[in-house]
Amino acid sequence: MELHEKLEILTAAAKYDVSCSSSGSNRGNEGGIGNASRGGICHSWTSDGRCLSLLKILLSNRCIYSCSYCINSADNEVPRTSFTPEEVANLTLNFYRRNYIEGLFLSSAVEKSPTYTMERLYRTARILREEEGFYGYIHLKAIPGADYAAIRKAGEYADRVSVNIELPSEKSLNKLAPGKNKEAILGPMKKIGNDISSNEKERKRSGRGKFVPAGQSTQMIVGASPEPDSHIMDLSESLYDNFNMKRVYYSAFVPVRENQNLPGIADPPLLREHRLYQADWLIRRYNFETAELFNGEEENLDYRLDPKAIWALNHPEFFPVEVNAATYDELIRVPGLGSKSASRILKAGRHGSVDYDFLKEIGVVLKRGKFFLTCKGEYRGGLEFRPEKVREKLLRASGKKLEEKQLPLFEPNQFSEKDEDAGTDPLLAAVSGSGTNL
Amino acid sequence: MIVYLYDGSFEGLLCSFYRALKTEDDPEEIVSREKGLRPLASEVREIDTDRDRAGEVHSGIKDEISSGAARNVKYCYLSEKSGIEIRLLEYLRLGFHSGSSLDDKLDQDPVFEIHQLARKVGRERHRMLGLVRFREMERGGYYAPIEPDYNIVGLLAPHFSSRMRDQNWILHDRERDLAVVYNREEWVLTKLDGDELPQYSTEEGLYQHLWRRYFDSASVPGRENEELQRQYMPRRYWDNLVEVD
């Protein structure tokens, strides 16, 4: 098979992994080619509007597993092929030297066995680092079920390593990914997390080699299984807290093949995915706790507005906030205000007082913000702060916006029957530390 | 009304600042000689460019205000926005008065305007770090044509000289006839005529082809959003890319 045919097959098969981040590493150039940029760099944007930063391909799409949601499932009839580690290294270098990419994101279907596959991923990284003097970004998948020794070796060359959770509960994993189990996924994830933190400490002391300096990430598919948003966010929060996770990615389920176990949906739940990212952001950067994002008995986010606005509307007791008297933590909870604007307000407040013109100048989204704040006592969101009125106005504005973007306001739940023996999901329990040891 | 005429270089501009800050001149405009004078200008003062003096002014800004302020001045200068010189003078007057807190005073004219413009230039610089496309030349080494909005080719040089350290390359602003040339040891900013393109190697076509194939295969069907694509990667940059027509 020609190289370009392999490339097309193994790119198309890899694109459902959403992460393309190249940030978080500062590997320097020690005399060869390349380096990493801490903030990450996008090199292009595909026609779906996603940033293209890494050469994201599979080493092979020949798979021994049959996961229902996956295009590479063993029982799916698609053309199969594999790269050699040398081919991938050569492609990476030639793309890198032309500044097409920040580096390589290499994953693979499970060819022959998990350990065999992991060894080949490792070999590719070793060629790049040891033989070609490549200092650019490398993200490798850790293959569930592989010997940890092989994963550990790969982590010495990689900037980031990720193990995909794929499905957010044990039950869904058993149903849709029968070849994988929670131990095979969470086990290496836990070990990688531990090794990252001990490596960080040791590196400071002894300057020994890096291990996964940009941290580990994972991905969950949203909408292929019945777990509600509150379950998904609980899982994410626990992964951040207990597994030393840097990022959790959410991937709206795109039906790539028909299967009786899967919901028959026409469009991927993009709005839901978007809201989950916003909620995740609030947890990681804005000191929110998962429980705060769900009102009362609600199990799913209200997709009509962003989760911060929803929270604010459910907590009228905090609003409106007087920007000239508020602390940083109060400011970042105001819809329309971000961490940058909050710091600027505080800085400027020290030199004078902040008025509406100033807010506009520093880029505060007053369309939303005006309902939740006062400036020198002045309120511009109407006569006075009335949560119900504000909710109405925001919903109207957001409805229009979503219509323009052609996103459905309501995403029907594909899973009509309620989970009968819901109980506690063993996967979530294991991650949150209340379950069995791994 | 006093008008300063300088040679258009960054050093020349710094010397203009020096003169304005050290004398009672209070110029109304600072204009590059290339751009020519408005006929109304009554009192024109020619500014001599003195590299040592320029260096003094530059370290003065860094030491007495901040290195962030020095960067803002440089970035705004590179924006080539007409009339920016006199705004920078106002910024520095305020700065030498208030010291390191200058950049917190967003409510004082022209701090915010300077920040916005410097940020635009910085954004284009960052964007261009990704959008530069090197092509392998027949005679060896790599060549990348660019046509940025702002005069940022020099700002890109440090990034690419540490990244593409083991290859020769030329980064060419074809609009401004300016290029950074790197020889695996150091880079220089030099004049380079924008009309002629080099011959590319035979392998070059293969990798461009592979890159296009990769680009097309990487998009997820069902998620098309070309508006978003153009927002991140505006059309005006597409001519010098490889993957889009």
Residue A166 has pLDDT above 80, yes or no: yes
pLDDT at A433: 80
Confidence of residue B238 (pLDDT cuts 50, 70, 90): very high
Residues 170-229 on B with a CB inside 8 Å of A are: 203, 207, 209-211, 213-215, 217-220, 222-229
pLDDT at A342: 92
pLDDT at A113: 95
Which residues in chain B are closer than 8 Å to A31, comparing Cβ atoms? Answer: 165-166
pLDDT at A408: 55
Whether B47 contacts B5, CB under 8 Å: yes
The Cα B29–Cα A236 span in angstroms is 57
Residue B78 has pLDDT above 70, yes or no: yes
Q: Which of B105, B225, B244 sits opposite A49 (nearest CB)?
A: B225
Per residue in A89-136, pLDDT (tens digit) is: 999 999 999 999 999 999 999 999 999 999 999 999 999 999 999 999
Mutate to test the interface with A, among B66, B97, B105, B106 (most CBs of A within 10 A): B106
Confidence of residue A207 (pLDDT cuts 50, 70, 90): low
Q: CB B165 to CB A7 under 8 A?
A: no
Shortest CA distance from A346: residue in chain B: B104
Asked if the bond preceding A408 is cis, omega within 30° of 0, the reply is no
The Cα A405–Cα A60 span in angstroms is 36
Decide if B166 touches A, using CB distance below 8 A. yes
B167: exposed, middle or buried (C-beta count within 10 Å: 0-12, 13-18, 19+)?
middle
Q: To the nearest whole angstrom, how far is the Cα of B218 from the nearest Cα of chain A?
A: 6
Which residues in chain B are closer than 8 Å to A4, comparing Cβ atoms? Answer: 209-210, 213
Which residues in chain A are closer than 8 Å to B160, comparing Cβ atoms? Answer: 99
Q: To the nearest whole angstrom, how far is the Cα of A361 from the nearest Cα of chain B?
A: 8
pLDDT at B219: 82
Q: To the nearest whole angstrom, how far is the Cα of B13 from the nearest Cα of chain A?
A: 28
The Cα B17–Cα B11 span in angstroms is 10
Shortest CA distance from B144: residue in chain A: A98
Q: CB A97 to CB B134 under 8 A?
A: yes
- In degrees and rounded to multiples of 5, residue B180 shows phi and psi of -100, 130
The Cα A111–Cα A114 span in angstroms is 7
The Cα A55–Cα A100 span in angstroms is 9
Lowest mean pLDDT among A161-165, A346-350, A387-391, B101-105: A346-350
pLDDT at A318: 94
pLDDT at B68: 97
Of A328 and A48, more confident? A328
pLDDT at B89: 98
The Cα A56–Cα A102 span in angstroms is 11
Q: CB A41 to CB B129 under 8 A?
A: yes
The pair of three-digit structure tokens given for residue A162, joined into one six-digit string: 């990720």
Which residues in chain A are closer than 8 Å to B205, comparing Cβ atoms? Answer: none
Of A340 and B62, more confident? B62
Question: What percentage of chain A has pLDDT greater than the value 70?
Answer: 92
Which residues in chain A are closer than 8 Å to B137, comparing Cβ atoms? Answer: none
Q: CB A254 to CB B220 under 8 A?
A: yes
Q: CB A55 to CB B242 under 8 A?
A: no
Q: To the nearest whole angstrom, how far is the Cα of A290 from the nearest Cα of chain B?
A: 28
What sign results for the dihedral spanned by CA atoms A93, A96, A97, A98? positive
Q: CB A29 to CB B126 under 8 A?
A: no
pLDDT at A360: 83
Q: What is the DSSP letter of A207?
A: -
ipTM of the modeled complex: 0.94
pLDDT at A415: 64
Per residue in B17-45, pLDDT (tens digit) is: 999 999 999 999 999 988 776 666 678 89
The arithmetic mean of pLDDT across residues B42-54, rounded, is 93
Of A202 and A65, more confident? A65
Per residue in A391-433, pLDDT (tens digit) is: 999 998 887 776 666 555 555 555 655 555 556 888 888 888 8
Nearest to B210 by CA among A14, A8, A60: A8
Per residue in A147-165, pLDDT (tens digit) is: 999 999 999 999 999 999 9
Q: What is the DSSP letter of A60?
A: B
What sign results for the dihedral spanned by CA atoms B100, B105, B108, B110? positive
Mutate to test the interface with B, among A7, A15, A33, A44 (most CBs of B within 10 A): A44
Per residue in B164-211, pLDDT (tens digit) is: 999 999 999 999 999 999 999 999 999 998 777 899 999 999 999 999
Given the candidates 3.30.160, 3.20.20, 3.40.50, 1.20.120, the CATH classification of the domain at A3-227 is 3.20.20
Which residues in chain B are closer than 8 Å to A100, comparing Cβ atoms? Answer: 133, 211, 242-243
Residue A236 has pLDDT above 90, yes or no: yes
Distances (CA, A) of A203 to A35, A208, A411: 19, 5, 48
Of A88 and B36, more confident? A88
Question: What percentage of chain B has pLDDT greater than the value 70?
Answer: 98
- Beta strand spans in A28-113 (E): 44-45, 51-52, 54-58, 103-107
pLDDT at A13: 82
Confidence of residue A20 (pLDDT cuts 50, 70, 90): confident
Q: To the nearest whole angstrom, how far is the Cα of B45 from the nearest Cα of chain A?
A: 36
Specify the pTM.
0.90
pLDDT at A270: 85
Q: Which of B165, B167, B219 sits opposite A46 (nearest CB)?
A: B219
Domain boundaries, chain A: 3-227, 307-404
Question: What percentage of chain B has pLDDT greater than the value 90?
Answer: 83
Q: To the nearest whole angstrom, how far is the Cα of B170 from the nearest Cα of chain A?
A: 12
pLDDT at A351: 62
Contacts of residue B206, defined as CB under 8 A and 6 or more positions apart, other chains included, come to none
pLDDT at A314: 93
Question: What percentage of chain A has pLDDT greater than the value 90?
Answer: 59
Which residues in chain B are closer than 8 Å to A43, comparing Cβ atoms? Answer: 130-131
